[in-house]
Structure 1
Amino acid sequence: MIENMLDDLPPDRRRQLTDIAVEVSLPRATRLFEEGRRADRFWIIRSGQVVLDQHVPGRRAAVVETLGRGELLGWSWMFPPYLWHLGAETVGPVDAVEFDARAIRELCDSDPVLGRAMYRYVAKTVADRLHGTRTRLLDLYGPQGSGLDP
């Protein structure tokens, strides 16, 4: 959870982040953000689930991933132009820790140790999700069986 994000930080830097953190409780079917809109915050999920979805013209949004306890919700806030790549909605009630993106970016810019830790945390999240996406694509479109031709 938030502890995972803070693991590599000295106590004074942990305090900087926890001072900005806000505990939130979100009801079922809360729309957290929309694809293409301004990414101004992010969350660490404490309990519950959130689906990430992508707009499909003429159809319902397609769910591309479900996030749960301990996971980072939102990374678009860290990279210009700070626009969401996907949409997000709670599946049921969700408790999370919410962070103001601008405040965190300012801390990262002013403190290289904190900035490096945050970038590593977000990069690991993005890499893990990319790996999961590749696995799902192989399940959908890859050759059946072992993948070896007899």
Structure 2
Amino acid sequence: MARTGLFSTIPEDHRDRLMALAKEVSFPAGARIFEEGTKADRFWVVDTGGVALDVHVPGRQAAVVETIGAGELLGWSWVCPPRQWHLGAGTTSPVHAWEFDAEAVLELCARDPVIDHALLTYVVGVIGHRLRSARTRLLDLYGPYGSGGQR
């Protein structure tokens, strides 16, 4: 746990404070964890399993834009208002994860600038990566020449 993803960015003594807020959860294969546009009041760090992130496409089936797995952050929309999911998420296999209540984590961040900086820096990186992934995937699916990799 400590050597990957979000947990590797937070110093150990501060990581313990964050983990005190964690709750272990499980989701079966094929479960919907959240829907695009609904309230984002928690996030997860995946321990095992896979989750597909998808975007609603009017008149079509939701388009999967990325699949995440062990050690990765699931959910960043809780960070800033209006705190609504920007994507949907469903499991591709059974998932075990650590779940965090967003309000409790934001309160911890207000009291602990080390966690605040590390967590928000990590989340901004995830947002950037997910934005690039979504753009590339949507261009592949719906653009006239795909993502532009080959013509």
Q: Specify the TM-score bucket, using the shorter chain as the normaliser.
A: 0.7 to 0.9
What CA RMSD, in Å, does the superposition of the two structures yield over aligned residues?
Answer: 2.1
Q: CA deviation at 1:132?
A: 3.6
Name 2:65's counterpart in structure 1.
Answer: 64
- Asked if the contact 2:6/2:72 (under 8 Å) is kept, the reply is no
Report Cα offsets for 1:73-120 as digits up to 9, x if no partner: 100011111110011110110111111111101111222111001101
The 1:73/1:2 distance shift into structure 2, 3 A limit, reads farther
Q: What secondary structure is seen at the aligned counterpart in 1 of 2:20? A: helix
- Segments of 5+ residues of structure 2 without an aligned counterpart are none
Identity across the alignment (%):
53
Residue 99 of structure 1 is matched in structure 2 by: 100
Give 3-state SS (helix, strand or coil) of 1:42's partner.
Answer: strand
Amino acid at match of 1:142: G
For 1:88 and 1:114, locate their aligned partners in 2 and report how far apart those are by CA, in whole Å. 26
Which residues of structure 1 form unaligned runs of 5+?
A: 146-150
SS at match of 2:38: coil
Report whether the alignment pairs 1:35 with 2:71.
no
CA apart distance, 1:59: 2.4
Per-residue CA deviations over 1:55-86 (Å, capped at 9, x if unaligned) read 12232211111111111110001111111001
Q: Distance in 2 between matches of 1:2 and 1:40?
A: 24
Q: Give the letter for the 2:64 counterpart.
A: V
**CA deviation profile, 1:6-28 (whole Å, cap 9, x unmatched):** 33433331111111111111101
Alpha-carbon separation, structure 1, partners of 2:98 and 2:52: 17
What are the residue-to-residue correspondences of 1:72-83 with 2, within 5 Å? 72-83=73-84
Quote the Cα distance in structure 2 between the aligned partners of 1:22 and 1:128: 26
Tell me the TM-score normalized by structure 1: 0.85
Shift in CA distance, 9/53, structure 1 to aligned 2, threshold 3 Å = closer
| d(CA) in 2 for partners of 1:69, 1:56 | 27
The answer to whether the 8 Å contact 2:44/2:100 transfers is yes
- TM-score by length of structure 2 reads 0.84
SS of structure 1 residue aligned to 2:52: strand
Render the CA deviation track for 1:33-72: whole Å, top value 9, x for unaligned.
1111110111111111111111122322111111111111
For residue 20 of structure 1, give the secondary structure of its aligned residue in structure 2.
Answer: coil
Partner secondary structure for residue 146 of structure 2: helix
TM-aligned CA distance change 1:39 to 1:22, over 3 Å: same
Count of paired positions: 145
